[in-house]
Amino acid sequence: MTVLSETPAMADTRQVAGLSLSTWHRIGLVAALAFALVVPFWASSYHTFQFTLVTVYAIALMGLNLLTGYNGQISLGHGAFYAIGAYVTAVLVHKTGVPYWATVPVAGFVCLGVGFLFGFPALRLEGLYLALATFALALVTPQILKFKTFASWTGGVQGILMDKPDAPWGLPLDSDQWLYFLCLAVALPLFWAARNMVASRTGRAMVSIRDHPIAAATMGVDTALVKSLTFGVSAFYTGIAGSLGGIVVGFVAPDSFSILLSLSFLVGIVVGGLASIWGALFGALFVVFVPNYADQISDLLGERAKALPWAIYGLLLIAVMYLMPTGVVGMLRTVAARVVGVRGPRTLVAKTE
Amino acid sequence: MISRRRFLATTTASTALLAARVFPAFAANAPGVTDKEIKIGQTMPYSGPASSYGAIGKAELAYFKKINDEGGISGRMLNLLSLDDGYSPPKTVEQIRRLVEQDQVAFIFQSLGTPSNSAIQKYLNDHKVPQLFVATGATKWNDPKNFPWTIGWQPNYQTEGHIYAKYLLTNKPDAKVGILYQNDDYGKDYVKGLKDGLGDKAAGMVVKEESYETSDPTVDSQIVSLQASGADTFLNATTPKFAAQAIRKAFDIGWKPLHFLNNVSISVGTVLKPAGLEKSVGVITADYRKDSSDPRWDNDAGKKQWLAFMQKYMPDADLGDNDYPYGMMAAMTMVQVLKQAGNDLSRENIMKEAANLKDLELPMLLPGIKLNTSPDNFAPIKQMQLQRFNGKSWELFGDVLSG
């Protein structure tokens, strides 16, 4: 696996058009933030809803990226944590009447615990074997949610319906705009924390385990602990995303969390860019919008092409991976490197595992 | 000479009539309705675990195309936007919001799946968008008080349970009933339907209830304990695999009850053949459709009408798939509602007419079965007819029964 590693702690001093790449990076960040803040005011409420989903998926993808991108552990089962997060919120709101916003951290910490406990034994499995164990987790979760012993809590196959919250404190926002800002307000600190974490000692330990576990252990990294913790934190992010997703959609049911959800998470981080903070955002845009475009393209082909959306999705995916083998972020970096040329120190290096 | 009062009355009436001509509808037409088009929205599982039901959406698109080829409804073309939701409720929510808010459809028609429709029911009712003729067998769609914008179409599981109860009360009032059901809302709907149908006698007649999980390998032990309970009548509310196991096991241990098999597992090919055709003789079930593969209907006008439609608009389709007649008949119901609504195509009026179907007959329904709705009845098809398996095929008997 070839991944480009970010070193956010270092300032990139290479120049483009008189400004350093770090400055460009900052300009991009400010522009993206400004866009994020105004988008619900000019977009229709349907598009606002879609951007809310993008934010939610971005959090989930961030979690998976910490595990897979930075720590090198492949999970095919993060849909399960997303489901647990969503159900914790739905059951708490429905059964105990706890306000919906208070359930978001609860969902996160439940997933942290489950992720850590699942990670502890599962992490003795390496690579493909871990992928299979997590795949099993994603397969059984919908079954467990339907299980009769829990059905009085989970609502069985019918799931749980939740009311859509309105904006509090008399804010002049409709409920779609409010949910968008709520998700954004949760996402920003989580992204900030993730960025700091990967730039810290722990982050370097995570990356070193991915790149060379034996060397990492020799250097004194407690590989089992770091891996389990990464699994827990990763599940924490995805659980929070699931909780927000449940609130935004207003309905949870076992059918919402099929194996396809876990796979689309994995597709998202690979397309967005492994081991990068921005990759989660680009991946989320892909996960939300591309299936819809695939549907529209297949509509153009007429009524007989009704079964085609996933074939078109697959073709688009192949095209994306062919044109951008290191994801959107990888491509942006390549473009930046081309523009800068060979001058200036190269702080961005391709690492091969 | 005309009295003043009469003069006033006449002029007022004619003014009102004139006004009615000039302004034909007081309620504005629904979004998506123009002089040339009616935009209709739908989600279908064209991909994912339930993709075989996509045939229903295809049949509906094809039938609306036929209507459009014949000039539409009062010159308006039917434009059905049928989107894939992969049987995933969050995707359904997203697609339905796109249809309502962005594509501005007039209403939603025949979206498929119980979980998917549950996910959008509240949203559509809050926004007063009709959710018409949902394609699911759950009982909860017939709830006009709480969800006045949602209406079902096919007979629901409880209705079928009622029909078995009705048969028992007339033909075997001293029956001792044993029930095997799948432990979810679908199975429980049958149990509730049968017990409600038996009324006060339910407590005395139902002697044993056994359930199973879809993850169970077999239902053998349940069948043994049902036999041991002394039951002489068996309601088999199970999905195909378990239905086949139950029929086989009951025969093998020598239990010969009056056996009701739910409509879900009616297929000869996937249920009765694996169970053993000779072991299935005498099993009773209820249906509302003409089986498209049954040669008995070959000279039937309704089946011929369906075949003509299929040959012209869906020449490549598998004629043995009962989802095609289903889709065509649901589309016909929709066309009837729009015809009744006339030129007042407001959402209120479309909903009102959906709840105002009177004895509508459709070509592939069993003879005598009619669609009826009213403001307090949102379950259009409530009749079924019993049929018995003779070792080769189902044989209808008795009258059409109402649940």
Inform me whether the C-beta atom of residue B84 falls under 8 Å from chain A C-beta atoms.
Answer: yes
Count the neighbouring beta carbons within 10 Å of the beta carbon of residue B355.
Answer: 18
C-alpha span between B141 and B134 (Å, rounded): 8
* Whole-number pLDDT of residue B10: 53
Q: Do B89 and A260 touch (CB under 8 A)?
A: no
Look at A127-136, A188-197, A242-251, B274-283 and tell me which has the smallest mean pLDDT: A127-136
* Whole-number pLDDT of residue A345: 46
Q: Which residue has the higher pLDDT, A191 or A167?
A: A191
Taking CA A283 as the corner, what is the angle to CA A278 and CA A289, rounded to the nearest 5 degrees?
Answer: 130
Best to test chain A binding among B66, B98, B323 (most A CBs inside 10 Å)? B98
Mean pLDDT of B134-159: 91
Task: Give the pLDDT band (50/70/90) at residue A7.
Answer: very low
Mean pLDDT of A346-353: 45
Coil vs helix vs strand at A233: helix
Tell me: pLDDT of B17 over 50: no
Q: Which residue has the higher pLDDT, A340 or B235?
A: B235
Radius of gyration in angstroms for the set of CA atoms belonging to chain B, rounded to a whole number:
24
For the segment A273-324, what is each residue's pLDDT rounded down to a tens digit?
Answer: 888 888 899 999 998 888 888 877 777 776 555 667 778 888 888 888 888 8
* Whole-number pLDDT of residue A307: 62
Q: How high is the ipTM of this complex?
A: 0.73
* Whole-number pLDDT of residue B352: 93
- Provide the whole-model pTM: 0.78
Q: Do B48 and A245 touch (CB under 8 A)?
A: no
Q: Do B184 and A143 touch (CB under 8 A)?
A: no
Mean pLDDT of A23-27: 82
Tell me: pLDDT of B330 over 90: yes
Inform me whether the C-beta atom of residue B221 falls under 8 Å from chain A C-beta atoms.
Answer: no
Inform me whether the C-beta atom of residue B173 falls under 8 Å from chain A C-beta atoms.
Answer: no
Written as six digits, the tokens of A75 are 């999970």
Written as six digits, the tokens of A17 are 């058009």
For the segment B294-324, what is each residue's pLDDT rounded down to a tens digit?
Answer: 888 889 999 999 999 999 999 988 887 778 9
Tell me: pLDDT of A339 over 80: no
Q: Give the mean pLDDT of chain B.
A: 88
Q: Do B97 and A49 touch (CB under 8 A)?
A: yes
* Whole-number pLDDT of residue A260: 85
- Tokens 């006045």 belong to B148
A256 to chain B, closest Cα gap in Å: 5
Task: Pick the closest to residue A245 from A115, A348, A103 (CA basis).
Answer: A103
Q: Which residues of A touch B (CB under 8 A)?
A: 44-47, 49-50, 53, 143, 146-148, 151, 156-159, 161, 163-164, 245, 249-251, 253-256, 258, 260-261, 291-292, 295, 303, 306-307, 309-310
- Phi and psi, residue B208, nearest 5°: -155, 135
Look at A254-268, B226-240, B371-385 and tell me which has the smallest mean pLDDT: A254-268
Mean pLDDT of B230-250: 92
For the segment B44-93, what is each residue's pLDDT rounded down to a tens digit?
Answer: 988 877 777 888 999 999 999 999 999 999 999 999 999 888 888 888 98
For the segment B91-138, what is each residue's pLDDT rounded down to a tens digit?
Answer: 898 899 889 988 899 999 999 988 889 889 989 999 999 999 999 888
Count the neighbouring beta carbons within 10 Å of the beta carbon of residue B316.
Answer: 6
Task: Pick the closest to residue B211 from B243, B179, B181, B249 (CA basis).
Answer: B181
Run of H or E residues at A244: helix A223-249
* Whole-number pLDDT of residue B154: 92
